[in-house]
Structure 1
């Protein structure tokens, strides 16, 4: 169930460009701009959202904003928004292609100095009910691409296989592939992930009655428990999916690509593409890959409860009530890190502080 980015607010996507209009209309053009000399405007934190509501929750809380148009960004989200704390928000557009293109445009723009910037991806996702619940927010250590696999028609799975998926240039579903694409799996800086988790683990998360009712249909924890802040890993791919068997493959694939170190819990579309674009920028010292954090909040379950069909789980995902609380919980979970960096910049400027 990849990146339930439409959620209950699907109509807002049809006017995606308007989602950030209030913030842009009240932009403050008196902010300092391009004060980093030839390197452009310095940024302490760049929050990366993928579609309007994910970005709007930050714009609603941390303004006033200055909007800075950047060539090459999505036509739906053509501006980066920055406040007086040097905290900025950008929106890439959904899916691998939009994420990669927008991040490349950002990182190679002369308008910003991103060499010391902390990047925080903050988006909603499907969630494994064995690891969390709707509304839970998870910091990832590993980014795994679910889409770079071979697939055999599910009606023709060979005897003895539990899935029709296998790594490219392997001979069976349990083998680790040679990683020829070089984007199949990435490990984030654990010092930053651990710091982010430590700052946010005690926050009180949003919840609502609709999500509580959806959780109650699952007969096990943590699916039927209130949302919490977690550390577990995220899986990217542009195909939205739903199902117990596919969910088991997601768990297995994460273990295979991380040599048993990663634990799958959220599923979305963009994060490997975002990280690869940042990697390209890092090769020419425009960004620091040790300063990348990924936060995903569960907007719906990736598999059905007992007695529910996978089709019903997919087609009626919005009825789970997770969209609004997941958006809120991105802000509640991510903002402690944002504020700590912005207000204690002397500690963070040269890298993640040891506390």
Structure 2
């Protein structure tokens, strides 16, 4: 054969071989792709996911925690566990733990970046079938003393990203402004931003939040002598009352803050972004990032956003009591005694929902039951 023709023939044969392989793979994919009525998402919200790997483990409840102590409150009680490594999770928490009831616990790592990356890795992991999974995001937070107290556990209806704002040095803010914060591309703190980022605010399924709250509203919550002493320094309720299960909303931002003015801005911003429907009570770092990752997975029908619940428990106050400085409140947060009760109350408040889903799976499988 002419040596100048040989490369052409070789390329032709390779191209033909690759084309044949591509056709064969396309045929296999087509045979595994739902068709007809099943290809559409039913009105009930029970999604059909194309290309779910054979043998993927179905999960009834996925508990999403942010760091080891939050995970421990579940892992110590609901085992034994199977440890399932997942590529892309935090190197500090590289595996998801699942028990025989199809309840799993994963840990994202703290902060927006870790939460988004780890949740995305989980949502697209081939080991799990998450189409009917209920997600319980459960973590500690700072608490607004005008809405709760240390140890209080709050179910959220709204998630607001407090970090997506413009900020002006408070010493140089315009005359008459009560804060140096304003929505991005607005002209003053009282104006609602245009929500150009599309992650500024999310509304959770009110039916699921109501079910979770009703299942847990009367549970006895944990407390501590240190927490009692810390809340007694506040001269108003509910700050100086015992912790209870409440229903109010959560703001996210990676900057830890402390102060009455910042707390007032958190309240104002929550009302702005929710059209006066939201009530700020918990401040944390991760929830909008976690929800956005699940939202992107939901766009490919891997998860169902109507099955996401968010629970936060107050481990410290977001502002000082009268006579205390904001700096002292922030720097001394660990001395408020709320850390251990908050961790315990995540379990006490969240577990009734978990156990009801497991015990009555036939009722929950197609969506939140009406009761």
Normalised to the residue count of structure 1, the TM-score between the two structures is 0.90
Q: 8 Å contact 1:42–1:112 — kept in the other structure?
A: yes
- Return the alpha-carbon distance in structure 1 between the equivalents of residues 275 and 236 of structure 2: 28
Please say if 1:189 is aligned against 2:205: yes
Q: What's 1:115 paired with?
A: 131
Please say if 1:162 is aligned against 2:171: no
Match of 2:319 among 303, 311, 320: 303
Q: 8 Å contact 1:39–1:110 — kept in the other structure?
A: no
Shift of 1:198: 0.2
- Return the alpha-carbon distance in structure 2 between the equivalents of residues 37 and 83 of structure 1: 20
Structure 1 unaligned spans of 5+: 1-35
Normalised to the residue count of structure 2, the TM-score between the two structures is 0.86
Q: 8 Å contact 1:123–1:297 — kept in the other structure?
A: yes
**SS of residue in 1 equivalent to 2:352:** helix
Match of 2:149 among 127, 130, 133: 133
Shift of 1:37: 5.7
Q: What's 2:351 paired with?
A: 335
**SS of residue in 2 equivalent to 1:67:** strand
- Moved >6 Å (runs of 4+): none
Please say if 1:210 is aligned against 2:226: yes
Q: 8 Å contact 2:53–2:126 — kept in the other structure?
A: no
**SS of residue in 1 equivalent to 2:233:** coil
Please say if 1:153 is aligned against 2:169: yes
Q: What's 1:8 paired with?
A: none
Please say if 1:80 is aligned against 2:96: yes
Q: 8 Å contact 1:199–1:336 — kept in the other structure?
A: yes
**SS of residue in 2 equivalent to 1:77:** coil
Paired residue total:
320
Q: What's 1:283 paired with?
A: 299
Q: What's 1:321 paired with?
A: 337
**SS of residue in 1 equivalent to 2:54:** helix
What do residues 194-216 of structure 1 show as CA deviations (whole Å, max 9, x unaligned)? 00000000100001110000000
Please say if 1:261 is aligned against 2:274: no
What do residues 18-64 of structure 1 show as CA deviations (whole Å, max 9, x unaligned)? xxxxxxxxxxxxxxxxxx86261000000000000000100001000
- Return the alpha-carbon distance in structure 2 between the equivalents of residues 127 and 302 of structure 1: 6
Shift of 1:154: 1.0
Shift of 1:157: 1.0
Please say if 1:38 is aligned against 2:72: no
Q: 8 Å contact 1:46–1:89 — kept in the other structure?
A: yes
Shift of 1:345: 0.2
- Return the alpha-carbon distance in structure 2 between the equivalents of residues 239 and 247 of structure 1: 13
Larger mean CA deviation between 39-48 and 262-271 belongs to 39-48
Match of 2:108 among 81, 86, 92: 92
Match of 1:64 among 80, 87, 91: 80
Shift of 1:79: 0.5
Q: What's 1:292 paired with?
A: 308
- Return the alpha-carbon distance in structure 1 between the equivalents of residues 170 and 189 of structure 2: 13
**SS of residue in 1 equivalent to 2:315:** strand
- Return the alpha-carbon distance in structure 2 between the equivalents of residues 302 and 277 of structure 1: 27
What do residues 69-113 of structure 1 show as CA deviations (whole Å, max 9, x unaligned)? 000000000000000000000000000000000000000010000
Q: What's 1:351 paired with?
A: 367
Q: What's 2:235 paired with?
A: 219
- Return the alpha-carbon distance in structure 1 between the equivalents of residues 55 and 132 of structure 2: 12
- Return the alpha-carbon distance in structure 2 between the equivalents of residues 174 and 186 of structure 1: 20
- Return the alpha-carbon distance in structure 2 between the equivalents of residues 113 and 325 of structure 1: 34
- Return the alpha-carbon distance in structure 2 between the equivalents of residues 178 and 226 of structure 1: 39
Q: 8 Å contact 1:251–1:263 — kept in the other structure?
A: yes
